[in-house]
Amino acid sequence: MDPPYCLRGSVLPLFLMLVLALVPCVPGSHVENSIELWSGYPLVSTTSSNIAGGSLQSKKGGLPCDENDEDPPCMPKELVDQSLSCETDLLGIGSLDGYCVVNETITLKNDAIIAGEGTLEILPDVTLSCPYPGCNLTIVLSGNLIVNVNASVVSGTLIIRADNVSAALGSSFSAKGLGGSPPAQTSGIPVGYEGAGGGHGGRGACCVAEGGKQQEDTWGGDVYAWSSLARPWSYGSKGGSTSKKEDYGGEGGGRLSLTASNVLELYGKIDADGGSGGEFGGGGSGGSVIVRAVEIKGNGEISVNGGSGRAGGGGGRLAIETYRNEAVKLYVRGGHSLACPNNSGGAGTIFDVVPQSLTVSNNNQSTFTETLLLEFPNHPLWANVQVEGRARVLVPLLWSRMQVRGQLTIASDALLSFGLAHYSSSEFEVVAEEVLMTNAVIIVYGALKLQVKMLFMVNSLLQIEGGSDSLTSTSELEASSIAVLREGSVIRSNSNLGMHGQGLLKLNGSGDVIKAERLFISLFFTLAVGSGSILQAPLDYDSPLSDETSRVHCLRTTCPSEVTNPSEDCTLNTSSPFTLQVCRVEDIIIEGTIKGSVVHAQRTRTISINPDGLLTASGWGCKGGLGKGEMSETLAAGGGGHGGKGGRGYFNGSVAEGGIEYGDQSMPCELGSGSGNSSVGLVTSGGGIIVLGSLDHPLASLDIAGALTVDGESSLVVPEKEVGGPGGGSGGSLLLFLQSLTLQNGSLLSSAGGHGGSVGGGGGAGGRVHFHWSNIAVGEDYLAVANVEGYIHARGGTGSDDGSVGSDGTITGRECPKGLHGIFCEECPVGTYKNQSGSDIRLCKPCPTTNLPRRASFIYVRGGVLEPSCPYMCMSEKYRMPNCYTPIEELIYTLGGPWLFTILLSSALVLLALVLSVARMKLIGNDDFTGPAPAPIGGHIDHSFPFLESLNEVLETTRVEESQSHVHRMYFMGCNSFGEPWHLPHSPPEQIIDLVYEDAYNRFVEEVNSLAAYQWWEGSVHSILSVLAYPFAWHWQQWRRRKKVQQLREYVRSEYDHACLRSCRSRALYEGLKVAATPDLMLAYIDVFSGGDEKRSDLPPRLIQRLPMSIVFGGNGTYMAAYSLHSDNLLTSLICQALPATVWYRFVAGLNAQLRTVRRGSLRSTLLPVDEWLNSHVNPRFCVQGIRIDLAWFQATASGYYQLGVVLNQTRDGPPPPQPLSDGGDSPPRVQTNVSPSGVTSPGLSFFPAPGVPENFPPAQWQLTESYSQLNLSRRRIGGAILDAVTLPSLEDRKDLMFPLSILLRNLRPVGHQATVGLVISLLLLADLSLTLLTLLQFFSISLEAFLLVLLVLPLASLLPSAAGLNALFSHGPRRAAGLARVYALWNTTSFANVFMALLYGLFHYVVPRLMPKSGLNSLKFNTEDDSWWLLPGLLIICKCIQAWMVDLHIANLEIQDRTLYSEHPTKFWQST
């Protein structure tokens, strides 16, 4: 609560009344103190009397207040009465109670008061001043104060109170260099004549350093008025002088208090700067400024800077109380030093009353002069403390506690130091929410207790210079949330340092360092050491702690208890052997470097060392030690010993033995030993100790992608030539209490010995590495404890010259439980078992193979196998436990074994075959054709191929109606395939050339050829089906052929107008042209008929007139379409003009029987028996009628396809008996030239005449008509050439891709025994189906992929043959049965692709793996399957081959029911006529 005003209404003199009226007093206080206290309060009543509360809202009541006003302070009536007047005293216009305008410069010579209820405006360039040190000018207004451009108000003490205050550009409220005397008992004025600066908020600078002092150890005037930061009301101090006679020192700054009840609009300047001392005097220190306003607008400035001079004065003190500062700048810098430019005066202080924050800034001026912070309030706590702009702040107390509610910020090259540099025995405690350091330094001389939520350092230094006593030798930094070091930040302590927290401790990157003599980090959740950053303890190799560690531990033979059982409370224990300890940190991530002599991580969950990370104690061990290498007289030294014996040193004939082996390999905790002589500077150190985890709290996971090393030091110093070099230090100890280890590719875990000196030094021995695995799970719970892809070694170091190599160290692991072996407790190899504890691989014994099935192998068992009865597993899931049989073998052995199974299956097949045969006989009757089948007289006989007529089948009434008008038959060229469609030649044959119009005929041919051609998609579908399922392709082709024949017939019969014919009657009746085709749809022809109105007597021609006449065979010599002579009624009627019908029918049946065995691709060999049959059986009989028949080829196309047929011609005389004739001479037959269908000339056969017979007269039995024997005429008439024994070898005959299948698919001669053939086929069908199913089951046991590949390589081809065969066997009628049997044969042949795929897959699956190199325990016995995999596919191939042969026989029996057609005797053949 504000103190009451006192002495109101007194009878004291007026001036005293005035002063006392303005001064709020405290009981017992004197006037001097009251003046300072008063300056801290507003002069107009406010809604709150608590200045610290910061309330600036004005009370609307005006001035003066009455005696009953309960809200002090207020303006006494006496103050108003003593105010200067506007017009009289200020020479202005208006009234202070209304609106007063000052338009002239006024200089006051005494203290003055300007008070009123109105507004005061000072016009541009007008000055209102009292320019004398300590002069008091008070302006109190209920209205506003307006100071225009370049106007100013100047006084030593300036007190301003108004509702709003406005200061325009260039205007000022100034107390610069007008300070009065500073408070008594202060040392702000410097002593002596160095020209030092005056002190106030900051020390004054001093440019003279005497007695070997540093610049920062000297200063001018000291600081004062620290306790009134929120209400500074002290004058600045005067600067020192360099002369006793004349005072050159600058004056101190004055005092200025400005209170705006609402808004302060500042575009000018408010200042109480110190005065300048010039070249020979020190600058005065800044004064005091208090500014209060609800809101501060504008971009002006407020300053209490120190004055410049020989040495700059210290900055003053500024207090500001506002809720909003728009852009007004605040300055409290020290004055510039002319004699030492880098050492300006110390910065002053800025105290923000509303948030209770302190700022110390030197405006980026370089200085060595401090600003002292003496004490910090406990209630209320400051919100923030900010040190910036190169300010140097010193807290010089022996013990101090700095506690703020918010941030402690040190930035912009600022320095905050605690304690005195020469007395490092202080203790300091800093408590804040956050400590933010940016390009700043904190130096602590003594011990530091830092408690923050966040510590954030950017390019900053926190240096702790600890004392020697126990109280100041340990510092603690606690960052409960996060501690981050960035951009080269360093925390360094030359004593013990503990860092605690609950969140993240992160060293961000290169240059970020935390170093201490002994470093203890605990309770963080994560410790992250970034790339290029360093975490290190002790400070260096030769630090006092390193010497202490060597002295205490290097000769110790027992392991300290703290190594295996460290303290649980994670407090900093200065008596522990560890120099760097991390405790209760969940995760440690190392991308930089962590190094120390004895490093320990306790109660840590995971440690990750990234590829650039390094956790090391290399070279931080003992220089001596238990295994120190001996030194020879020539100073050659042996290597240090530890895990092994150090290498021997040798120089100039002198030998130095290496150090001895020492330590416990099962629990290593010893420092490595060194070598050499420290007195001559030739010395190396051993490796240090790194302990991760403990017995009770092992490390959950250690992931190493970088390096973890405790190597011994190598000698790099080159000694003088007359002395030898030191040996290498031995490796240290790596003791790892782990649950799991990951050593990534390229990583390193090392305890290697150092290399010996360059002159005879011995190599250091390797150290010791021990993995103490914790809680190794066994059995089904086993998890691998290590994944090692990097390098682990404890090798000895190399010696130089004659120095020897150090012995290797030891790498050990905890003794493994049963089933596990090795350093990393891995499972014993598959096929071995281990039934006792230990780590030796030799304890893993081979499993007995007595009861192991041949298709089985020993399997991996989690946790290893503990007993000799090792578990095994079949080589594949296709095999069934416990005997590892395939499903087939399981079936076979279930039924008694292979032999019994074969007998049972064979019996079942035979029984089923008999059942099928009986059922077939019951359904379709007996089809065993053993003799000729007579046909009823007068019945309709189908003479088309492939059902050949016997003599009894050709007794049919001759129809001659059509033959009486028939002129000529034109055969289509081509075979009606997608590649060779039917087509007619454009030139009309000579037989009809007089009956047609040639142009119209050509158009007719083009239309027919266009109609006979196939579309591209029809051939594409056929090609696709040929690949997938050839029987479907054949059905597709036949369907399209049938459609094509129907289109041609419909076109010629109905659509075409027969315009090419000359006969009007034929054109009118549409009967001149008729299209027909053979039943196999491969040969088509157009019959030309006369219309009867040609008026020619030679029409229609008789048969004799038509000779020679060509008759083309249907078919193409393939399995599905054998060559055949189709004798329709028209042709039969014509032939019957020369031959009896029965003779012709018998000839056709016999010829077709011979032609069915002719195969395309083997025409030369298969046509020869037909030619011989014609010459032996037919021509002798036909000669009786004057007719001769010969084989011939016709109508060759551009692609090389030609047709076969016969040529009918006349003979001159009847034949002699049908036996071969000879002329009795030795001369060879005369050869004449014929032409083959390929265009190649070939010999034709003729005979020499008998003696006395003209040469051109052949034997009567072979003589052709004269016209026929002329080649040109015959070729023109028949469109081809005769084939005989001489011309056949030159016949062009190309084999297609399907020709090899003719081995299986071929037309045979009938053998009879049709019932037996049917029974065998039934048996083979069942065997085929059984073997197919067994084969599929066999490959399904390999894999589903193998099953599908064999089944679907040609879809449906595996299973459809059986269905097609059953359909063929149970079909009625020989014609239908034969057709279905051929389809069955196609499916059977197609299925060979599936069987061959099975063999190919089996070859790669079974045989190829055997050719591969075999290794391991399961080399041959456990990795091979049986050698009979091919048996089922092989049997299936044999079955299908026999099946194909039997089907061919079955088809022959169906199609050739009269076997006398194959009689070798002509007489017997013709007897059936």
What pairing do the DSSP bridges indicate for beta strands 324-325 and 301-303? unpaired
pLDDT higher at 705 or 890 = 705
pLDDT of residue 757: 82
pLDDT of residue 925: 66
Lowest mean pLDDT of 540-544, 619-623, 857-861, name the range: 540-544
Spell out the residues 6+ positions from residue 192 whose beta carbon is closer than 8 angstroms to its own. 240
Q: What is the mean pLDDT of residues 1358-1366?
A: 82
For residue 545, name the pLDDT band (cuts at 50, 70, 90).
low
Whether pLDDT at 912 is above 70: yes
Q: Which of 689, 702, 693, 710 is nearest to 794 (CA)?
A: 710
Lowest mean pLDDT of 12-16, 627-631, 1091-1095, 1436-1440, name the range: 12-16
Lowest mean pLDDT of 236-250, 457-471, 1410-1424, name the range: 1410-1424
- Whether the CB-CB separation of 927 and 1454 falls below 8 Å is answered with yes
Angle at 96 between CA 95 and CA 102, to 5 degrees: 75
pLDDT of residue 1048: 93
- Whether the CB-CB separation of 270 and 291 falls below 8 Å is answered with yes
Distances (CA, A) of 188 to 213, 235, 310, 342, 1360: 21, 10, 17, 21, 118
Whether pLDDT at 134 is above 60: yes
Q: What is the mean pLDDT of residues 1345-1365?
A: 81
Q: Which of 499, 524, 644, 643 is nearest to 580 (CA)?
A: 499
- Whether the CB-CB separation of 362 and 389 falls below 8 Å is answered with yes
Per cent of the chain over pLDDT 90 is 43
pLDDT of residue 1265: 35
Q: What is the mean pLDDT of residues 776-787?
A: 87
For residue 981, name the pLDDT band (cuts at 50, 70, 90).
very high
Lowest mean pLDDT of 208-217, 249-258, 772-781, name the range: 208-217
pLDDT of residue 77: 59
Q: Global pTM?
A: 0.63
For residue 427, name the pLDDT band (cuts at 50, 70, 90).
confident
Quote the DSSP letter at residue 1185. G
Q: Whole-number mean pLDDT of the chain? A: 82
Look-up of token digits 């600067």: 239
Whether pLDDT at 1056 is above 70: yes
- Whether the CB-CB separation of 371 and 393 falls below 8 Å is answered with yes
For residue 1426, name the pLDDT band (cuts at 50, 70, 90).
low
Report the 10 Å Cβ neighbour count for 503.
Answer: 17
For residue 53, name the pLDDT band (cuts at 50, 70, 90).
very low
Whether pLDDT at 702 is above 90: yes
Q: What is the mean pLDDT of residues 289-318?
A: 96
Spell out the residues 6+ positions from residue 260 whose beta carbon is closer than 8 angstroms to its own. 56, 162, 163, 164, 165, 292, 293, 294
Tens digits of residue pLDDT in 69-115: 333 344 555 666 788 999 989 999 999 999 999 999 999 999 999 99
Calculate helix-pair angle for 1344-1352, 1392-1402, nearest 10 degrees. Answer: 150
Distances (CA, A) of 956 to 605, 1156, 1473: 108, 24, 13
Spell out the residues 6+ positions from residue 1347 whose beta carbon is closer than 8 angstroms to its own. 1336, 1339, 1340
Residue 815 one-letter amino acid: E
- Whether the CB-CB separation of 58 and 261 falls below 8 Å is answered with yes
Q: What is the mean pLDDT of residues 1437-1449?
A: 88
Q: What is the mean pLDDT of residues 1168-1181?
A: 91
pLDDT higher at 1085 or 20 = 1085
Residue 29, exposed/middle/buried by CB under 10 A (0-12, 13-18, 19+)? middle
Whether pLDDT at 1237 is above 50: no
- Whether the CB-CB separation of 1176 and 1218 falls below 8 Å is answered with yes
Q: What's the half-sphere exposure (Cβ side, CA atoms, 13 Å) at 317?
A: 28
Look-up of token digits 């060293």: 507
- Whether the CB-CB separation of 720 and 680 falls below 8 Å is answered with no
Q: Which of 706, 709, 907, 867 is nearest to 790 (CA)?
A: 706
For residue 721, name the pLDDT band (cuts at 50, 70, 90).
low
- Whether the CB-CB separation of 262 and 166 falls below 8 Å is answered with no
E-assigned strand segments in 953-1060: 966-971
Spell out the residues 6+ positions from residue 1130 whose beta carbon is closer than 8 angstroms to its own. 962, 963, 966, 1087
pLDDT of residue 1111: 93
Quote the DSSP letter at residue 927. -
pLDDT of residue 546: 62
Question: Where do the H-state alpha helices sit in 63-104?
Answer: 77-81
Measured CA to CA, the distance from residue 646 to residue 629 in angstroms comes to 7
Per cent of the chain over pLDDT 70 is 84
pLDDT of residue 61: 34
pLDDT of residue 578: 86
Measured CA to CA, the distance from residue 1022 to residue 1037 in angstroms comes to 7
Q: Which of 1013, 704, 888, 775 is nearest to 1342 (CA)?
A: 888
Q: What is the mean pLDDT of residues 822-848?
A: 91
Q: What is the mean pLDDT of residues 1045-1054?
A: 92
Whether pLDDT at 592 is above 70: yes
pLDDT of residue 1247: 29
Spell out the residues 6+ positions from residue 165 whose beta carbon is closer than 8 angstroms to its own. 144, 145, 147, 258, 260, 263, 264, 265, 266, 293
Q: What's the half-sphere exposure (Cβ side, CA atoms, 13 Å) at 1077?
A: 23
Q: Which of 485, 571, 493, 497 is nearest to 528 (CA)?
A: 485
pLDDT of residue 669: 87
Q: What is the mean pLDDT of residues 64-71?
A: 41
Measured CA to CA, the distance from residue 342 to residue 348 in angstroms comes to 17
Radius of gyration of the chain (CA): 63
For residue 1245, name the pLDDT band (cuts at 50, 70, 90).
very low
Q: What's the half-sphere exposure (Cβ side, CA atoms, 13 Å) at 1336?
A: 17
Whether pLDDT at 800 is above 90: no
- Judged by DSSP in three states, 472 sits in coil
- Whether the CB-CB separation of 554 and 532 falls below 8 Å is answered with no
Whether pLDDT at 11 is above 90: no
pLDDT of residue 645: 94
Look-up of token digits 């109508």: 1195
Residue 1150 one-letter amino acid: G
Residue 331: beta bridge partners?
303
pLDDT of residue 1218: 39
Whether pLDDT at 38 is above 50: no
Tens digits of residue pLDDT in 188-220: 889 888 899 999 999 999 998 765 566 667 889
Lowest mean pLDDT of 503-517, 538-552, 985-999, 1104-1118, name the range: 538-552
Q: What tokens were used for 103? A: 């338009």
Q: What is the mean pLDDT of residues 762-769?
A: 93
Whether pLDDT at 1411 is above 80: no
For residue 353, name the pLDDT band (cuts at 50, 70, 90).
very high
Q: Which of 545, 568, 561 is nearest to 497 (CA)?
A: 545
Whether pLDDT at 248 is above 80: yes
Question: Where do the H-state alpha helices sit in 984-1090?
Answer: 998-1012, 1016-1028, 1030-1050, 1064-1069
Q: What tokens were used for 1315? A: 């019932």
Whether pLDDT at 57 is above 50: no
Q: What is the mean pLDDT of residues 150-174?
A: 96
Tens digits of residue pLDDT in 377-400: 888 889 999 999 999 999 988 888
Whether pLDDT at 428 is above 80: yes
Q: Which of 215, 135, 147, 218 is nearest to 179 (CA)?
A: 135
Whether pLDDT at 50 is above 50: no
Whether pLDDT at 1414 is above 90: no
- Whether the CB-CB separation of 1179 and 1189 falls below 8 Å is answered with yes
Whether pLDDT at 581 is above 50: yes
